[in-house]
Structure 1
Amino acid sequence: MKMKTAVMGAFALTGAGALALAANAQDRMILPGANWATMQDETEGGHRFGNPEAKVKLVEFMSYTCSLCATFARQGDSAIRLAYVPTGRISYEIRHLIRDPVDLTAALLTHCGEPQKFAGNHEAIMYRYEDWMAKVQKSTQAQRSRWQFGSHSARFQAIASDLDFYDIMQGRGYTRSQIDACLSDEAKAQAMAEQSAADIAKYGLPGTPSFVLDGELLEGTHNWPALEKRLSSVVIAD
């Protein structure tokens, strides 16, 4: 899907001042025989699966309000983590490109809890895409006004309530108060919006989903069949 200037609108809607992104990369000891399939950590820009020192580094840039991203989550996400990540030769990182307030709300919820919870949160939101997107499309003007005006917490809680995000996250074991705490994290919302703008500027991302392999944008690659061909060729050449 084409990227829009809406990313900057979502940036403004966070309601927080500019905050510097904290670098959280740390030196790691890479042990022989490590189980890369179960390793995931939070990076400066997103969440990474597998060997942090892998020779090949794949980054997906996605948005929760993107239908093609929902399709990729079902077709490509698990395939990459089951077939490629366990080898230790490829790491897979998911980064957010924030398009609108609904997208930002979903992104905040996927970051609820410890980094190890991200994969399950991400899947829970993505696999229910058709259900909650139907509610977005049927939303009233009054609802959309609540999503855009008021305090930071009130806006994102209204979105979560109207789109049944509370039910999705409670199904993941979160309490209402825990969900509200994640939605109220203005610093995290601001950091996500800033990171989105930085990634768009750095890589010239044309839309979502987009993929960067070893620092290079894979032009014309926006679905799993196309990406699988590129990954297969890299593995053969490696």
Structure 2
Amino acid sequence: MRMISAFLGTALAASLAAAPAVSAQESATPQSAPMAGHLIGRVDADMRLAEYVSYTCPHCAHFEQEAGDTLKLAYARPGHVGVEIRHLVRDPLDLTVALIANCGKPANFATNHAVLMKAQPQWLDRIRATTPAQRARYETGTNASRRQALARDAGLYELMKGRGYTPAALDRCIADDTMAQTLATRTRQYAEAGVTGTPSFAIDGTLLPGVHDWAALKPVLDARILP
């Protein structure tokens, strides 16, 4: 499971602290929480798999590489599993990428998610190679300008150009403080409900302890699908 990078963590901590307080009704445990992510597959699937992910989590990227297509084709498409992606946002870069993944029509999300996850090694390497002067831009100015600087330095504008996104469209999505607060609030709800790391999984609202990769998840899914 992932660890938070030190130089990116401070701004998100402030964002989480400033997020609206969660009421008792909103902070329901995973067993009773309504859908708060993006569903891949059928609403009436035999079971609902919640996948808690962070875009800056290498294990999450590995899971997408290893199991993303299989989940869609062999589990979601036949109606066995509805896969709900839930963002567990850990740092400002993660938040920036989540805003990009949610940019545009809801139907765009599944492909946006896969593209961003599969390209993670490249854009993470670009951030690791940034200079002190570049990193200073992530800590000054508006929230929007900080996130836009992160996205540019990571090469995310170029990456999403291939998905048909213009710089102006990405600027608007990255600057969406309302969505940023929603993602921060949901992250806190998930943490309060017992989700401690990524990737983590729940089936029909019940967290799967000790299940954090495809090798552990696949037998659980197959045992529920096979007669």
Does the 8 Å contact 2:12/2:91 carry over to 1? Answer: yes
**Relative to 1, partners in 2 of residues 1:178 and 1:19: Cα closer, same or farther, differing over 3 Å?**
farther
Q: TM-score, normalised by structure 1?
A: 0.83
Q: SS state of the match for residue 138, structure 2?
A: helix
Partner of 1:174: 165
In the superposition, relative to structure 1, how do residues 7 and 213 fare at CA in structure 2: closer, same or farther (>3 Å)? farther
Give the whole-Å Cα distance in 1 for the aligned partners of 2:221 and 2:215: 10
- The answer for the alignment partner of 2:124 in structure 1 is 133
**196, 210, 221: which one aligns with 2:187:** 196
Provide the alpha-carbon RMSD of the alignment. Answer: 2.5
Counterpart of 1:225 in structure 2 is 215
Cα 1:200–1:16, aligned 2, differ >3 Å: closer, same or farther?
closer
The answer as to whether partners of 1:135 and 1:163 remain within 8 angstroms in 2 is: yes
Aligned to 1:39: none
Mapped to 2, the partners of 1:213 and 1:9 lie a distance apart of 32
Give the whole-Å Cα distance in 2 for the aligned partners of 1:17 and 1:93: 23
- Superposed, which structure 2 residues align to 1:58-137 within 5 Å? 58-137=49-128
**1:141, CA displacement in angstroms?**
2.3
The alignment partner of 1:147 has SS state of coil
Which stretches in structure 1 are left out of the alignment for 5+ residues? 24-42
State yes or no: 1:144 paired with 2:135.
yes
Deviation at 1:190, TM superposition (A): 0.5
Q: Per the alignment, do residues 8 and 89 of structure 1 end up closer, same or farther by CA in structure 2, a change over 3 Å counting? A: farther
Question: What 5-or-longer segments of structure 2 have no aligned partner?
Answer: 27-33
- How far apart are the structure 2 equivalents of 1:45 and 1:149? 31
SS at match of 2:221: helix
Q: Spell out structure 1 runs of 4+ moving beyond 3 A.
A: 2-9, 13-20
The structural deviation recorded for 1:149 is: 2.0
Q: Is the 8 A contact 2:68 2:114 kept in 1?
A: no
Note the alpha carbon deviations across 1:196-236, whole angstroms, 9 max, x for none.
Answer: 1101111x113110001111111111111111111001112
Contact 2:89 2:184 in 1 (8 A): yes
Map 1:11-90; keep pairs closer than 5 Å: 12-13=14-15, 18=20, 44-90=35-81
Length-normalised TM-score, structure 2: 0.87
Task: Return closer, same or farther for 1:213/1:108 CA change in 2, 3 Å cut-off.
Answer: same
| Residue equivalent to 1:29 | none
The count of residues paired between Structure 1 and Structure 2 equals 216
Q: Deviations over 1:100-146 (max 9, x none)?
A: 00000000000110000001111121111111111122222222221
